[in-house]
Structure 1
């Protein structure tokens, strides 16, 4: 894999921005699920966090190695 430091910094910055945006939406969605389904908010946030970490790993692999 060819790694360009500048590109990595740009991708990390974009990713952090996306994660902040995504987490805001996830929190709102989780709150609605909690209100209507009475699902535990902690469980929902944990699952959402897991999904975000998985997405992050996939994105880093794609950006660095492709």
Structure 2
């Protein structure tokens, strides 16, 4: 679920739009929907989501080695 939310958020920022279902899933994070219109803020908005993705990838890699 976390990976799905991260993908949804990053897609919303990249595309500058999202459907109602995605906005409902993102809950409070949906407030950043129009951040793509503020290029100086995009990096700040996506930093934690990229960090989450990296952590999940690292966890998956560690579990695969077990």
TM-score normalised to the size of structure 2?
0.37
Could you say which structure has the larger radius of gyration? 1
Higher relative contact order (CA 8 A, sep 6+): 1
TM-score normalised to the size of structure 1?
0.37
